[in-house]
Amino acid sequence: MVRVVDGALPAPLFRRAREAIRRVGGERLAQSYWTTFWMPLDETPRHPLEEAVLALARIALPRGHRCSGAEWWLGRSHTTDVPIEFHVDQDVKLRDAGGPLVHPVTSTVLFFNRVRGGQLAVLDESRPMQAVEPRANRYAVFDGDRVHGVLDARGRVPSGKLPGPKGRLRITLVVNFWRSRPTGVRMWRHSRAYRRLAIQRSR
């Protein structure tokens, strides 16, 4: 149900992607899961995260695929206060406008660190829930119409904020591959968000 690839990105690219996220800091942290971008698969990458998207496409998509691009975002949250419920990825704006229900072809998650709890959980009516532990450079790939979510710091389906210290921030790059661009999702280069991703380190 979920394909898991450890060491998904080449180590230099993984380090550059992690450093780019570090530069972003706390920008839009509360809106992290809802700050999404579109990247055509024939686009020249503008920063390490877009480089990572193209590298991950080579793992996630079979030869002869019909996907035109990827919707990507930073998933950042504490597992003591998971901000998203279990859900199915879909073109939300199209649905809200009365259009059909459209899912990505493939949904994927790249983990950047280990945290307490925070497993990616994927559900299927005919099989038990499959949970993927967060590990640095671990990549999870699953069908775009699967119900999924993030387990809390206790490894359970979240039911509210947990008491105690927040712990480490769970950091992921979420990449969904689509046949056509989901409604209203802008390209990063047309957005004002996360401009620090493209800052080059001085040598």
- Identify which has the larger pLDDT, 200 or 16: 16
% residues pLDDT > 90 (the chain): 93
Predicted pLDDT of residue 201: 58
Quote the pTM value.
0.96
Burial class (CB in 10 A: 0-12, 13-18, 19+), 21: buried
Average pLDDT of every residue of the chain: 95
Cα separation, 33 vs 96, whole angstroms: 18
Q: Which fold has domain 3-198?
A: Jelly Rolls (2.60.120)
Instruction: Write the pLDDT tens digit of every residue in 147-161.
Output: 999 999 999 999 999
Cα separation, 11 vs 16, whole angstroms: 9
- Closest of 47, 53, 57, 89 to residue 182, by C-alpha: 89
Predicted pLDDT of residue 200: 72
Is 90 exceeded by the pLDDT of residue 107?
A: yes
% residues pLDDT > 70 (the chain): 99
Q: Where does the pLDDT of residue 202 fall: very low under 50, low under 70, confident under 90, or very high at 90 and above?
A: very low
Cα separation, 27 vs 35, whole angstroms: 11
Instruction: Write the pLDDT tens digit of every residue in 136-190.
Output: 999 999 999 999 999 999 999 999 999 999 999 999 999 999 999 999 999 999 9
- Please state the rounded mean pLDDT for residues 123-133: 92
